[in-house]
Amino acid sequence: MQPWSSVPVPQVPGTPSPLHLFDTAAGEVRPTEPGPVARMYVCGITPYDATHLGHAATYLAFDLVHRVWLDNGHQVHYVQNVTDIDDPLLERAERDREDWIVLAMRETALFREDMEALRVVPHFVGAVESIPEIVEAIGKLLASGAAYRVDGEHPDIYFRHQASGNFGYESNYDEATMRDFFAERGGDPDRPGKEHPLDALLWRMARDGEPSWESELGAGRPGWHLECSVIALNRLGLGFDVQGGGSDLIFPHHEFSAAHAESLTGEFPFAKHYVHAGMIGLDGEKMSKSKGNLVFVSRLRGDRVDPMAIRLALLDGHYRTDRSWTDDALINGSARLARWREAVALDAAPAAEPAVARLRERLSDDLDTQQALRAIDAWADETLASGGSDRGAPQLIRTAVDALLGVEL
């Protein structure tokens, strides 16, 4: 699966700041310590609808991780999946009486356009193209005893959730909380024939009216969690630097992705950091398809909103915090963008090095974007109020804002 066009990231003069991020598993902010090549896996969309602002906020957060690592001199191997076969996609296609493949292709193409407009540095892989790898992994889990088939008309394959010996370390949830989230977020705790309610689906045997793939497991399709385990293992290897996604993926998705991978390899941990972005609401309510209150990036673009204003509006809040999208957020983002552009258009300005140093410092501290934006605000305010004599300052700010915040001025 092809990503969108590459986004050039300029080099910024001066001294970078090493990145520290909150690790969900550890419950604290810890330094990321990549080698020469930093490795990151971020769970991507299920393409049954357009990119909403919750998606965009998550991918902007991990785009900043990518950019700060680049600033620190690392190459970055960033993999993001597209879950182009899963129940929500099939349900939407059936509801709209549309071919699920056509739906997935159309929404994936729109996602590419949105990410390119927002200047997110690209890389992603589809689940369907990875099915042969997933089938091989399930065979290994069956052979090791980490997986089993249920009895009955549809002998689906399930994962014994305790098989890795470390289940629960990523989320730190107790079993009651796990059971609640498992039922809410795509699990099937009441499926007859399972050994335990928390055992997760690996391979769903073919049903009438559903897509399936022939394999040595029998015709069927993969479970959601294993897709990410296999794509990450086969492209990044075990112990990569960051596993990322929205906070609604802490459990069951990331817990099971880790458990699957650790059972396949016999090694621990799946990732060094588990990093999660907060949810975006609309005017105080959670943004969700069931509420019908999704705000789509493509619709804002269609209304001629500058994607850089959208980006700034979403960055004006800490990535881990649940927060609301409001009209004021976009108004403020647009005003900030205009003010910054006015300032960097001048021939000279106050020295920019202190502002760039502050920008780096705040981003390195668990992506403190609010204070990072205010560092540039302060420079722009001083520039427009008093002017300055440093003829290189406007270009230095332009370069730093581009490279570190992904905003084109």
pLDDT in tens, 277-329: 999 987 666 666 666 678 889 999 999 999 999 999 999 999 999 999 999 99
Whole-prediction pTM value?
0.94
The pair of three-digit structure tokens given for residue 201, joined into one six-digit string: 């689906």
The per-residue pLDDT for 124 is 63
To the nearest 10 degrees (0 to 180), the angle between helices 353-364 and 393-400 is 10
In Å, how far are 16, 65, 176 from 72, measured between CA atoms? 6, 11, 42
Judged by average pLDDT, the poorest of 3-12, 24-33, 174-183 is 3-12
Residue 114 pLDDT exceeds 70: yes
Please say whether the dihedral angle defined by the alpha carbons of residues 57, 104, 102 and 97, taken in this order, is positive or negative. Answer: negative
Decide: 119 and 5 in contact? Cβ < 8 Å.
no
Residue 391 pLDDT exceeds 90: yes
| Residue type (1 letter), 187 | G
In Å, how far are 81, 88, 96, 134, 224 from 221, measured between CA atoms? 17, 14, 22, 10, 10
To the nearest 10 degrees (0 to 180), the angle between helices 353-364 and 369-386 is 170
Q: What is the mean pLDDT of residues 98-126?
A: 80
Q: What is the mean pLDDT of the chain?
A: 92
The per-residue pLDDT for 198 is 98
The per-residue pLDDT for 88 is 72
The pair of three-digit structure tokens given for residue 371, joined into one six-digit string: 């204070």
The closest of 5, 31, 1 to 275, measured between CA atoms, is 31
Distance between CA 1 and CA 19 in Å, rounded? 30
Q: What angle do CA 6, 11, 17 make, to 5 degrees?
A: 115
Alpha carbon 61 to chain centroid, angstroms:
8
Ordered strands of the 271-277 beta sheet: 125-126, 75-82, 37-42, 240-246, 271-277
The pair of three-digit structure tokens given for residue 404, joined into one six-digit string: 């570190």
The per-residue pLDDT for 289 is 62
The per-residue pLDDT for 179 is 97
Residue 125 pLDDT exceeds 80: no
The per-residue pLDDT for 266 is 97
Cα-only R_g, the chain: 22
